[in-house]
Structure 1
Amino acid sequence: MRKNSTRILKREPKRVISEYLTMSDMFDEFMLIKKGEGLARRTIDEYYINYRYLKEYIGREITAEEMTTELFVGWIEHMIEELDYSPATVNIRVRTNRSFLRYAYDEKGWITEPIHRRFKPIKAPIDNVEALTTDEFRRLIGAMDDSSYVSFRAKVCAFVLLDTMMRVCELVDVKRSNVDLKAMTIRLEAADTKNRVGRYVPLSARTTKILSEYLDETTQFNSDYVFLTYEGEKMSEATVRDNLRVAAQVAKIKDKRVSPHVLRHTGALFYILNGGDPFSLQKILGHTHMNMVRRYVQMTNMDVQNQHSAFSPLNYVFKK
């Protein structure tokens, strides 16, 4: 190294490969670090779930010496070619495990190969996200009978999910104190959101009305939470999904999956189609970046010429 150089060279981590150190041993220590970072419960669960998928592929416990680049790249190929998973699904499973591998190599020096440098998310094409049509959504809510508490609750959930575009994990955590019917908003607490940032989501007059009716009906339960089981307990995400699935069967929506996430996509698409701007949509969705919002804009296939005729910069300059 040159005497006058001010460059600081990064020291390679000390390799402590041990025949007694298994991949699960490494992962357990890695997760202690992640939990110490204060990540949301859902994020921690995602690390464990994706690691379980990796372990199922490998089929047995392996040592540090058996952790090779070929093994992990082979898992990606297996998911794409044999399981026919979408790029989005593959990337979700790769992301958290890649973080683990980076820690094992860079921070601890447990493994000899920088596996994370080749074990990367694959490039996903900008495909259309799955969404319902207006007719399909009408049929969905039409299949929900107001005379039944469970069915009426499912309808309220469908309205709120589509209108606010919140995630199902955010929906089940909404408390009565978070709902402001006069302001027509719901406050999502930071602890209950995916990115740990609180936000307000607006409600339409139609959703406010049906939600108000539901709140009146469930006052007797004396629960802090809005969406409750028939016994007055906090509703689970699985129950929301199951209610939508059953309603979709009744509505004879066979060619599409009907889920809370599909309603989130559908709401975002309808918002753009109805003239909403991408920046306010980004704020409502709680997205840090515009990448996903761009997909909704691309899906609308809007007539660019007509849009330009209406909103040309020169029209603004020379407006009467």
Structure 2
Amino acid sequence: MYRVQLSRRRNNQLDGQKMLEQPETGVSLEEASRMFLREHRHLAAHTQRFHRENLTSLARILALQGKVILDCRELTASLLKHHYLYYMMDDLHLKPNTINGRIRTVRQLIAFLHQEGYLLRDYGVDVPMVKGDKVIIQAFSEEQVKRLLEQPDKQTFTGLRDYTLMMLLLETGVRISECIGIALRDVHLKEGNIVVCGKGSKHRTVPIQSKMIKVLRTYLAERGAVMSDALFVTIDGTAIQKRSVQEIIGRYGETARIDDVRVSPHTFRHTFAKFYILAGGDIFSLQKILGHSTLDTVRIYVEMFTSDVQQQHSKFSFVEHRLR
């Protein structure tokens, strides 16, 4: 079921505690976790919760095997592989995505302890990820997008707001947390762009085109002046919340009778990526628009929609249709 994804190249540095002089002081895993979380308190709440839960699972799983880490220098790559990674695989039978999420936190913890001088080197990469069966994340079809956009009643404020919000998700591929975090000052209609705050509180500028600008102008005229500076607000003038958007979009999916694809804000992000690729967009600009730090995730989109690309090629192949 699992395949361990080892590093491509062995790290030439031997495991720290054997060959090199260790730092004079150490901290317990409990204290190291507190320090790590304090250092990362600027991250989004859900990211902080993700790391907190993963660090709790690390301590709990090691404790189940009688290993209480009183000095973080005991937290070697070998210990983490044999008493954490393999335990999650062989004893707990956790899914690859769950395991990899926990390993990502552990890798960041090791890097943090190295930066703080508690570990001689950052050996997090020596704790491998696991490979499992690929999960194919679906996107909406063009026909499904049209059905979804027909659902809001644009003669009402909430309907116009929901229509504008879904259009913006399709136009920019922003995450739902980024979308509801947009303030009026972030919207630049004349320049044709919106500034969003992404993961790690990193700001980026995403472009919008004339149709989206027109929809936003209409919505902003109806939104008017309210106490909140959020772009998307409730009928009472307060900032709309993430859970509310998820529920609203889910209901539109039901009324549109879309049951073969998960109708969620994140599916709009996949849909944006899908049609961007099919239209000939390059992965470098897509990476920048989506706010990914590396190309790894963007490449997944290319793999996800390979069959769609194949269909596009069959329709537009120069050799197939132009040469005789």
Q: TM-score range with shorter-chain normalisation? A: 0.7 to 0.9
| Residue aligning to 1:27 | 33
1:129 corresponds to 2:129: no
The one-letter code of the counterpart of 2:103 is: V
Q: Structure 1, residues 143-172: CA drift from partner, whole Å, max 9, x if none?
A: 222244334322221110111111112111
- 1:78 & 1:163 partners in 2: Cα distance? 44
CA 1:275–1:155 in 2, change beyond 3 Å: closer, same or farther?
same
The one-letter code of the counterpart of 2:219 is: Y
| Shift of residue 223, structure 1, vs aligned partner | 2.7
Q: 1:11 aligns with which of 8, 21, 27?
A: 21
- 2:165 & 2:63 partners in 1: Cα distance? 40
| Shift of residue 269, structure 1, vs aligned partner | 0.5
| Shift of residue 34, structure 1, vs aligned partner | 3.7
| Residue aligning to 1:160 | 168
- 1:128 & 1:203 partners in 2: Cα distance? 28
- 1:292 & 1:269 partners in 2: Cα distance? 13
Answer yes or no: is the 8 Å Cα contact 2:100–2:129 preserved in 1.
yes
CA 1:243–1:56 in 2, change beyond 3 Å: closer, same or farther?
farther
| Shift of residue 206, structure 1, vs aligned partner | 2.6
Answer yes or no: is the 8 Å Cα contact 1:166–1:285 preserved in 2.
yes
Where structure 2 has 5 or more consecutive residues not aligned to the other structure, the ranges are 1-18, 320-324
- 1:115 & 1:182 partners in 2: Cα distance? 49
Alignment of 1:26-45 (within 5 A): 26-35=32-41, 39=43, 43-45=47-49
CA 1:115–1:296 in 2, change beyond 3 Å: closer, same or farther?
closer
Q: How many residues align?
A: 286
- 1:89 & 1:242 partners in 2: Cα distance? 25
Alignment of 1:169-248 (within 5 A): 169-188=177-196, 192-248=197-253
1:250 corresponds to 2:259: no
| Residue aligning to 2:102 | 93
| Shift of residue 48, structure 1, vs aligned partner | 2.0
User: What do you get for the CA RMSD once the two structures are aligned?
Assistant: 3.6
CA 1:104–1:281 in 2, change beyond 3 Å: closer, same or farther?
closer
Secondary structure of the residue that 1:122 maps to in structure 2? strand
Return 40-49 or 174-183, whichever deviates more: 40-49
- 1:166 & 1:203 partners in 2: Cα distance? 12
Answer yes or no: is the 8 Å Cα contact 2:62–2:84 preserved in 1.
no
| Shift of residue 101, structure 1, vs aligned partner | 4.9
| Residue aligning to 1:76 | 88
- 2:44 & 2:241 partners in 1: Cα distance? 17
Where structure 1 has 5 or more consecutive residues not aligned to the other structure, the ranges are 1-8, 311-320
- 2:306 & 2:266 partners in 1: Cα distance? 18
- 2:209 & 2:290 partners in 1: Cα distance? 15
| Shift of residue 268, structure 1, vs aligned partner | 0.8
CA 1:50–1:275 in 2, change beyond 3 Å: closer, same or farther?
same
| Shift of residue 287, structure 1, vs aligned partner | 2.4
Answer yes or no: is the 8 Å Cα contact 2:227–2:238 preserved in 1.
no
Identity %, equivalent residues: 28
Answer yes or no: is the 8 Å Cα contact 2:85–2:99 preserved in 1.
no
Answer yes or no: is the 8 Å Cα contact 2:138–2:267 preserved in 1.
yes
| Shift of residue 219, structure 1, vs aligned partner | 1.2
The one-letter code of the counterpart of 1:237 is: K
Q: Structure 1, residues 114-137: CA drift from partner, whole Å, max 9, x if none?
A: 995664322366654321111222
Q: 1:288 aligns with which of 284, 287, 293?
A: 293
Q: Structure 1, residues 158-194: CA drift from partner, whole Å, max 9, x if none?
A: 1101111111121111111211223322122xxx221
Answer yes or no: is the 8 Å Cα contact 1:95–1:120 preserved in 2.
no
Secondary structure of the residue that 1:161 maps to in structure 2? helix
Secondary structure of the residue that 2:206 maps to in structure 1? strand
Answer yes or no: is the 8 Å Cα contact 1:72–1:119 preserved in 2.
no
- 2:158 & 2:252 partners in 1: Cα distance? 11
- 1:308 & 1:126 partners in 2: Cα distance? 29
| Shift of residue 306, structure 1, vs aligned partner | 7.7
Q: TM-score, normalised on structure 1?
A: 0.73
Q: 1:277 aligns with which of 266, 282, 289?
A: 282
